[in-house]
Structure 1
Amino acid sequence: MKSVFGRLVQGLAVASLAVGLASCGMMGKKAEEMACPEIRIDRDTAKLTSFTPGAGQDITDIQFEGQILAFNGDCGWDPKTRTIDVKMKVLFEITRGPALKGLDGQFQYFVAVPEFYPSPAGKQVLSVPFKFNDGNLTTVNVRDEEVRIRIPLGTDKKSSDTPVYIGFQLDNKQLEFNRKLNR
């Protein structure tokens, strides 16, 4: 069960992330066209618990846990192509679990623009390696390489019409586990 303080901190973090890229440059065009799109982190994919394959979901079966801590970036408006170019880096916190063999691992996360689903351009899945450099270290922060997205607006759209989502790429069991925790 989460403490009230923990929920408050998580809620504030998600709220601040939602407006994190809202300060793009505006050079003579309508502000709503050129503003950075809203970046959203769905609470069901904001965390990852990786269990040992074939094991249960007991605390002793946890290889590692992860959460999205923050992201930073910016965007630019190209009036000739009517596109918004978004650049961002995502920061993750990974906590070692008792079932992790060795000092390293890997996870995946996604950057998605639901408007373009089911086109492959609508979602990028990225792999991120991590390593605990010391056997006694239980938590590491990992920042991924810069992700770039080009969002075409056409003539009838504003950037606010096209939110971008980031989250951990979860399998069905992991997603259900998170949903149970979030109830």
Structure 2
Amino acid sequence: MRRSLLIAVGLMAAASTAVPDLAAAQQRRQGDQKRQEQEASAKRKRDAEWNDVQAPLPALRNAGPCPYVKVLYDAARYIDFKDNREASASVAYSGEIQGISAGCQYKDEEPIRVQMEVLFELGKGPQATSNSRTYRYWVAVTKRNDFPITKQYFDLPVTFPAGEDRVYVTEKIGEIVIPRATLTTSGANFEVLVGFDVTPQMAAFNREGKRFRVNAGQAVAGTTSENP
């Protein structure tokens, strides 16, 4: 905005003098040179002020980038097996984080405030003993590629309608407040992670990328093992 205003003022001044004399032209050159020196000095000062030596990443400018928000892969799915037997027929309850939308806001010396919406797909398997289930998930704030700062758990109670084996639920996380060490600390220095509260077996199952087909283990009529 300020740069546009300076250009407009310069154009108006030029229009007021149709044939500038030599002295006026020399004066303008001196003024231009002085202005360039001032701009260069201001740029050096601005770059020094934006240098965030406390951040674990290269210096970032606080132009408003939000923290990185993502699902932790090992905790992205929840699959509860009866008797710890990994088979589609042994699934009691399941869940998967389908997507996240997020936004943030901060300015001056204010902390970073993040709002999130998380979409869950939740399922009831053959070994389910009830139409109700309370899932548990967590939200953690970490320094990017570094240690966690805080972690909070949430309960998600779900009731499956009669005759339905899956539901979709959107959870709204009203506000996550992340303090900033200095005025120049950027939101890009942080990550917000989301995941189910899973057992070590569930985490290993997810890490190995295992999945079940709906008709796993069932014979398909009309198929043959012969090669064409």
TM-score (norm: length of structure 1): 0.72
Is the contact made by 1:117 and 1:123 (CA closer than 8 Å) also made in structure 2? no
Q: Following superposition of structure 1 onto structure 2, how do residues 128-147 of structure 1 map, counting pairs within 5 Å? A: 128-134=156-162, 136-147=163-174
Tell me the equivalent position of 2:220.
none
The verdict on how the C-alpha distance between 1:51 and 1:147 changes in structure 2, with shifts beyond 3 A counting, is: farther
**What residue identity is the alignment partner of 1:77?**
Y
Distance in 1 (CA, whole Å) between partners of 2:119 and 2:148 is: 27
Aligned-partner Cα distance in 1 for 2:64–2:148:
25
The 1:153–1:33 alpha-carbon spacing in structure 2 relative to 1, beyond 3 Å, is: farther
Question: What displacement does 1:77 show?
Answer: 0.7
Q: Is the CA contact (8 Å cut-off) linking 1:34 and 1:84 kept in structure 2?
A: no
CA contact (8 A) 2:62 2:185 kept: no
What is the match of residue 61 of structure 1? 90
Structure 1 residue 42: Cα displacement: 2.2
TM superposition shift of 1:98: 0.4
CA contact 2:69–2:102 (8 Å) conserved in 1: no
- Is 1:74 paired with 2:103? yes
Deviation at 1:79, TM superposition (A): 2.2
1:160 CA drift (Å): 0.4
Question: Which residue is 2:75 aligned to?
Answer: 45
3-state DSSP of counterpart to 1:57 = coil
Q: Greater share of strand residues, 1 or 2?
A: 1
Give 1:76-155 correspondences, 5 Å limit.
76-81=105-110, 83-115=111-143, 117=147, 122-134=150-162, 136-155=163-182
How many aligned residue pairs are there? 150
Q: Does 2:185 correspond to 1:157? A: yes
Q: 2:195 aligns with which of 146, 151, 167?
A: 167
In structure 2, distance between residues paired with 1:91 and 1:97: 20
Cα deviation, residue 99, structure 1? 0.6
**Aligned equivalents of 1:37, 1:94: Cα separation in 2:** 27
Name the CA distance, whole Å, in 1 between partners of 2:167 and 2:139. 22
C-alpha separation in 2, matches of 1:90 and 1:153 = 25
Q: Which amino acid aligns with 2:80?
A: S
TM-score of the aligned structures, taking structure 2 as reference length: 0.59
Structure 1: which 5+ residue stretches go unaligned? 1-28
Unpaired runs of 5+ in structure 2?
1-49, 51-59, 211-228
Report % sequence identity: 26
Alpha-carbon displacement from aligned partner over 1:69-111 (angstroms, at most 9, x marks no partner) = 1223322114233x11011121100121101112110111111
Rg larger in structure:
2
The alpha carbon displacement at 1:171 in A equals 1.4
Counterpart CA distance in 2 for 1:159 and 1:89 is: 18
- The answer to whether the Cα contact below 8 Å between 2:81 and 2:92 also exists between their aligned partners in 1 is yes
